[in-house]
Amino acid sequence: MEKEEESLDDLKYLLGNMGIEILLAIDRGAKDFETIKLFSGVPLSCIKGRIPVLIDLNLIQKKNNEYSLKEKGRNFKKKLERKKDFKME
């Protein structure tokens, strides 16, 4: 049986605010723990704990010691932006 795709709300609850901030920092160009910390304001210990979750959920990848968003991560970010815009109207 194939693993069911997580919904937007499922991912938001799994990642929490700090996980989402880490994902957004990576999207803005943060490539390693130090730049993720600078871009997100998330403590290093939280970053080290959430990066494996982001990788396991197939949202980010590590290549040549640098993190980047995968297609699923980009789609998740777009869904977050659409939902945010929807609530603001």
Residue 85 has pLDDT above 80, yes or no: no
Return the CATH fold of 8-88: Arc Repressor Mutant, subunit A (1.10.10)
The pLDDT confidence band at residue 86, using thresholds 50, 70 and 90, is very low
What is the domain partition of the chain in residue ranges?
Answer: 8-88
Residue 63 has pLDDT above 70, yes or no: yes
Alpha carbons 40 and 22: distance in angstroms, whole number: 6
What does the pLDDT read at residue 22?
Answer: 97
Residue 1 has pLDDT above 70, yes or no: no
